């Protein structure tokens, strides 16, 4: 029998609800005294999918497990809100397996599993345990009471909650929480719903460091001592902010904040972390414990969904500019790559391709035969990515229908909102409405994909770019649901693809903003319309590392930036440019060091999860930046394709675990305190340490090699000890790149055959430690891998035996000696 009634255990002031202990019938038969003794002194298993719910003087605390290392905490003055399901973005179901409940003699509630122990402090603390300010004299208190005193029902409430590992190491300690009335302007915008400003305060130990929380382009790596404005803001200083409210701590936990309104996170100030959301009806967050960061990401994957494999072609190179305005230009660029024997994976048809914004067509004057264009590109092994904006301008083909149905983002009085845009652009479609989302996908399917053969979709403006703060979505006010549009908008296309094409074709969506769970929509996110400067290159690296640390592995940049800065007529580079661009003034104008910037950014782009060139320039292909730049760019483009077997395999691991393969150093070297705040180095998979050059004119840079292993210079094979900072030569054609000892790196051809059957040309082994690598291969185009239709080759290096072995599917033909190279070095580092 399952018992859901409330049991009074503290004179009515503190009640346990819905714990549904197994064996409750027997306890009840023994009388109330026996029940109280059992609750206070023994451990009880929790019945199926039942949260532990505590009632305290009108406050409700709910603890709901999802896995032995995942617990949801929900707190509210509204019991219904506290016990309701999580918000948007979550797909997991609660699971109590392995959890038990105890109350100790002090009144502390203890919820435990093999991975976590959660303690909720007593409802009424002893006087000497209540947090107090330093004392003031009686008269001071009396004077203050007149102006600042009175009841404070909104808090802060001292329902302290502490989370530790099973062996007692503290992970997280929540001290207080509040629910205060909304600000008047927020309440006005959120009309029709009762809402509060909600906040929770946690301890911030001095040795704790923080990562993730979406995209902040201000140059930060460690987010400690920063205020994070977690909401989508296209115009943020440094580049667009994107809110994904998931943070990873160096202490071994992740915190997922379940609130889509504008949220501010203050990290480390005065020894505290404060999470505060503009509107809500509860505090709701998930704690994910992990012995390592990948275990935390596996928990995030469970909660919000898997990062699916992309089409194999997409892991190669994507060529774009803003814009190729005609079919003839797209074909000319692709043909030039073929003529030059340079690999190319995807050509992009950017925005402003319609007759009018919202007609969902292609201007026939510029695109006379898109189907023929795609056939020609496909014959060259090149796929296409088509930009489809979500805007519908008044007077266009579908506007009246969309407006009449309320399918456009609109103000509370029902008027479609075009925001700051000109009327020829128009408001966004409201894809939070399932009927509008289905219609949007079906129009894309029937007007672009089926008749013309476009492969992939670029869903730009996914913030939405029309600020929703004073608008209304189908799901509710834009104030309350400020950050969720990217999740719904990308889902409209992903789910449509899967519904109509099944497993037969993989989805690739390029999107400018994200939210919890958006990684499950076949989506690559990019750093938005950033400025083409050296400063932006430097800021972009930690921005990308924190974004992927948020649990969304696929992120990239417009290589060398989108917007050109305004270049003064008398401009000169700070140092003599390392690339002479005098032969391409028609592309660079008087931005004389731009070819150098493009080369350095392109070198870094090889080691981004997805490699894509884009930007507002006359020309943007690798031959566009001068005779000195072209051979360097060709070298790195071919390197991207040589690395495809490696990249594709580490991407499969991201699918399995949810962990990124563009990895900030804290993930792989948690015992090395020196890596906590390095913003311009990272791991690409388990093997490569990447250290981009971000200073104009630089031909050297310092690199810190993390402790605990040896490293090899990729270009020279010199072996170096970890735990030291070295000065590395970095001429313009050299990206500082190191390989961790014990790594196994499979390489393929450099001819651009990304969409074809994988071929292994070489396997490089870097001795100095035992190593393992799982080489993944499948058809590269379908979702059949989800059903086990793939092959794995497990490569194992025994350092003691100095031998590479492999098992599973054959990965290459001929003897191992013809493929495997064990790297040696006659010179050692200090």
Task: Name the residues annotated as catalytic.
Answer: 460, 463, 529
Q: How far apart are CA 375 and CA 44, in angstroms?
A: 65
- Give the pairing type, strands 456-459 and 509-511: parallel
Half-sphere exposure in the Cβ direction for 463 (13 Å, CA) = 24
3-class SS string, 787-825 = HCCCEEEEEEEECCCCEEEEEECCCCCCCHHHCEEECCC
Q: How far apart are CA 421 and CA 405, in angstroms?
A: 22
Q: How far apart are CA 717 and CA 783, in angstroms?
A: 38
Half-sphere exposure in the Cβ direction for 448 (13 Å, CA) = 26
* Contact criterion met (CB below 8 Å) for 480 and 261: yes
Integer CA distances (angstroms), 707 to 721, 725, 827, in order: 8, 10, 19
Q: Is 694 exposed, middle or buried (0-12, 13-18, 19+ CB in 10 A)?
A: buried
Three-class secondary structure of residue 503 per DSSP: coil
- Give the pairing type, strands 762-765 and 820-822: parallel
Residue indicated by tokens 């190669």: 316
Cβ neighbours of residue 353 closer than 8 Å, sequence gap 6 or more: 323, 325, 362, 363, 366, 367, 386, 387
Give, rounded to a whole angstrom, the gap between the first and last alpha carbons of the chain.
69
- Long-range contacts formed by 467-472: CB under 8 A, 24+ apart: 467/419, 468/409, 469/189, 470/189, 470/411, 470/412, 470/417, 471/409, 471/410, 471/411, 471/412, 471/417, 472/409, 472/410, 472/411, 472/412
Three-class secondary structure of residue 272 per DSSP: strand
Largest CA distance in the chain: 93
Let me know how long the chain is: 830
Half-sphere exposure in the Cβ direction for 289 (13 Å, CA) = 26
Cβ neighbours of residue 17 closer than 8 Å, sequence gap 6 or more: 4, 6, 53, 54, 55
* Contact criterion met (CB below 8 Å) for 288 and 254: yes
């Amino acid at each position: 029998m399952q018992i859901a009634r409330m049991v009074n255990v503290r004179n009515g002031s503190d009640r346990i609800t819905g714990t549904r202990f197994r064996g409750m019938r027997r306890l009840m038969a023994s009388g109330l005294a026996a029940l109280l003794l059992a609750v206070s002194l023994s451990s009880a298993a929790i019945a199926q999918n039942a949260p532990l719910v505590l009632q305290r003087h009108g406050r409700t605390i709910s603890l709901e497990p999802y896995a032995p290392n995942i617990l949801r905490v929900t707190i509210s003055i509204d019991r219904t809100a506290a016990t309701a399901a999580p918000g948007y973005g979550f797909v997991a179901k609660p699971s109590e397996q392995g959890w038990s409940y105890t109350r100790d003699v002090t009144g502390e509630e203890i919820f435990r599993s093999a991975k976590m122990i959660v303690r909720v402090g007593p409802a009424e603390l002893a006087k000497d345990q209540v947090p107090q300010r330093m004392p003031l004299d009686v008269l001071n208190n009396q004077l203050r009471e007149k102006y600042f005193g009175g009841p404070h029902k909104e808090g802060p409430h001292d329902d302290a909650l502490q989370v530790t590992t099973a062996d007692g190491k503290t992970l997280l300690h929540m001290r207080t929480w509040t629910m205060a009335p909304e600000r008047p302007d927020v309440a006005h915008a959120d009309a029709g719903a009762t809402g509060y400003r909600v906040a929770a305060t946690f301890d911030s130990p001095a040795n704790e460091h923080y990562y993730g929380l979406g995209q902040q382009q201000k140059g930060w790596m460690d987010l400690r001592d920063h205020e994070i404005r977690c909401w989508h803001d296209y115009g943020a200083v440094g580049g667009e902010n994107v809110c994904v409210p998931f943070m990873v701590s160096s202490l071994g936990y992740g915190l997922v904040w379940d609130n889509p309104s504008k949220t501010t996170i203050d990290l480390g100030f005065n020894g505290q972390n404060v999470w505060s959301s503009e509107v809500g009806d509860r505090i709701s967050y998930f704690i994910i414990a992990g012995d390592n960061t990948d275990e935390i990401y596996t928990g995030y994957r469970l909660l919000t969904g898997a990062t699916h494999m992309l089409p194999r072609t997409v892991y190669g190179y994507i060529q774009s500019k803003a814009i190729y305005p005609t079919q003839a230009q797209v074909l000319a660029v692709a043909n030039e790559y073929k003529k030059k024997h340079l690999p190319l994976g995807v050509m992009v048809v950017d925005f402003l391709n319609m007759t009018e914004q919202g007609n969902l067509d292609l201007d026939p004057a510029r695109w006379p035969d898109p189907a023929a264009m795609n056939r020609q590109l496909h014959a060259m092994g090149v796929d296409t990515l088509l930009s489809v904006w979500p805007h519908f301008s008044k007077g266009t083909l579908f506007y009246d229908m969309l407006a009449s149905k309320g399918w456009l983002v609109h103000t509370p009085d029902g008027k479609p909102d075009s925001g700051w845009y000109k009327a020829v652009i128009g408001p966004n479609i409201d894809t939070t409405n399932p009927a509008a989302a289905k219609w949007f996908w079906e129009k894309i399917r029937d007007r672009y994909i089926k008749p013309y053969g476009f492969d992939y979709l670029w869903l730009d403006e996914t913030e939405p770019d029309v600020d929703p703060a004073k608008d209304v979505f189908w799901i509710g006010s834009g104030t309350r649901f400020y950050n969720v549009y990217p999740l719904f908008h990308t889902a409209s296309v992903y789910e449509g693809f899967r519904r109509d094409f099944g497993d037969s074709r993989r989805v690739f969506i390029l999107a400018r903003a994200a939210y919890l769970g958006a990684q499950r929509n076949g989506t690559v996110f990019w750093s938005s319309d950033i400025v083409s400067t050296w400063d932006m290159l430097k800021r972009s690296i930690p921005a990308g590392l924190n974004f992927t640390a948020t649990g969304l592995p696929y992120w990239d940049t417009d290589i060398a930036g989108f917007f050109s800065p305004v270049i003064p007529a008398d401009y000169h580079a700070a140092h003599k440019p390392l690339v002479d661009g005098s032969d391409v003034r028609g592309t660079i104008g008087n931005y004389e060091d731009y070819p150098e910037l493009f080369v350095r950014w392109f070198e870094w782009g090889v080691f981004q999860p997805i490699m894509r060139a884009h930007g507002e320039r006359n020309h943007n292909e690798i031959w566009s930046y001068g005779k000195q730049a072209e051979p360097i760019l060709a070298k790195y483009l071919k390197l991207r394709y040589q690395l495809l077997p490696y990249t594709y395999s580490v991407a499969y691991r991201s699918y399995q675990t949810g962990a990124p393969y563009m990895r900030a150093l804290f993930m792989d070297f948690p015992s090395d305190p020196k890596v906590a705040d390095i913003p311009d180095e990272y791991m690409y998979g388990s093997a490569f340490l990447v250290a981009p050059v971000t200073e104009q004119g630089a031909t050297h840079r310092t690199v810190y090699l993390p402790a605990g292993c040896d490293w090899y210079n990729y270009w020279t094979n010199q072996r170096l000890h970890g735990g030291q900072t070295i000065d590395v030569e970095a001429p313009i054609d050299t990206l500082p790149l190191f390989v961790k000892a014990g790594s196994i790196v499979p390489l393929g051809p450099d001819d651009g055959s990304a969409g074809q059957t994988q071929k292994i040309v070489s396997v490089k082994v870097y001795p100095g430690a035992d190593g393992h690598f799982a080489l993944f291969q499948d058809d590269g185009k379908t979702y059949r891998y989800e059903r086990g239709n793939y092959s794995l080759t497990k490569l194992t290096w025994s350092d003691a035996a100095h031998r590479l072995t492999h098992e599973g599917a054959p990965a290459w033909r001929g003897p191992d000696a013809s493929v495997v190279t064990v790297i040696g070095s006659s010179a050692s580092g200090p």
